[in-house]
Amino acid sequence: MTDPDRSKWLHDEISPDLAQLHSIKRVIYSGRTKFQSIDIVDTGSFGICLILDGKIQSSERDEFIYHEALVHPPLIAHPNPQKVFIAGGGEGATLREVLAHSTVEKVIMVDIDQEVVDICHRFLPSFHQNSFNDRRVQLYFTDARKYLEECRELFDVIIIDLADPLAGGPAYLLYTQESYQVVKKRLDPNGIMSVQAEPTSIITWQAFTAIVNTLKTVFPVVSPYQTYIAAFVDTWGFVCASFKLDPKKLSPKEIDRRLRARLSKKLKFYDGLTHQALFTLPKHLRHQIAITRKVVTDKRPIFTY
């Protein structure tokens, strides 16, 4: 490994008032697709990072935290998840975690940007770990909401792993009430969904609380949770939503039992005690969720920076 060139820095803007600098060891790939810019950079801080539209999406050092937090709570909450739908997840790490569940028989993954998936397939093998080639996977390149609108299949678990809802970006209309209503129609009555729901820190929680409130207008059971993602410089929010499954009702002992019975590998982040911590939100965040009235719609979308 060569020492990083201290004249080269990745400038990652968290908000208009906060930025993080990462030393760059080498640029592995840099380009632009039909939908967004994509960079894969080896940094001194977090190793190899996937960057879309200037925002870090995954880092080699801590992507396991994000992807285990997004995937395993809903799959473990379901008594027997067999059919899973993934919206987004271009680097293949969400798919990797889903396929670790022995009960899963079929996964449909839909990403709008084939170039991103192809580039990640080529340059990020440690992220996807050959998951794109699993016989259980069907991969489609189109708008995930459009696919679900036209689909007649029901899924046990739907995982929404999209880029941030940026103005002019490809994902913002998948964070709306109308989009979640489409998801609801494609869930089995015993099904559950999860979504990455933006940061939860004291200066950036507006999108998270709006997403939680929007899901509450669609689903009877909505369970928000969070964990710290160092590469994002923030606590990061997620939400599970369903007709009747509530991940918070599972004991650590039961979660660990299900993990032992179902998983083909050992996890690095998620277990029963971690699950309990994820869903234990601090008082100030619970208060913000309680007082939020904003509902995100197609006509009134929410944008992050």
Catalytic site positions: 161
Q: In what order do the strands lie in the sheet with 55-59?
A: 9-15, 18-32, 37-43, 47-52, 55-59
How far is 54 from 59, CA to CA, in rounded Å?
14
User: Distances from the Cα of 191 to the Cαs of 27, 76, 81, 160, in angstroms?
Assistant: 41, 12, 8, 14
Residue 215 makes CB contacts below 8 A (sequence gap 6+) with 180, 195, 222, 239, 241
Q: Are 244 and 81 in contact (CB under 8 A)?
A: no
Q: Are 90 and 117 in contact (CB under 8 A)?
A: yes
* Structural tokens at position 188: 């089995």
User: Distances from the Cα of 33 to the Cαs of 29, 112, 119, 173, 302, in angstroms?
Assistant: 12, 11, 10, 19, 24
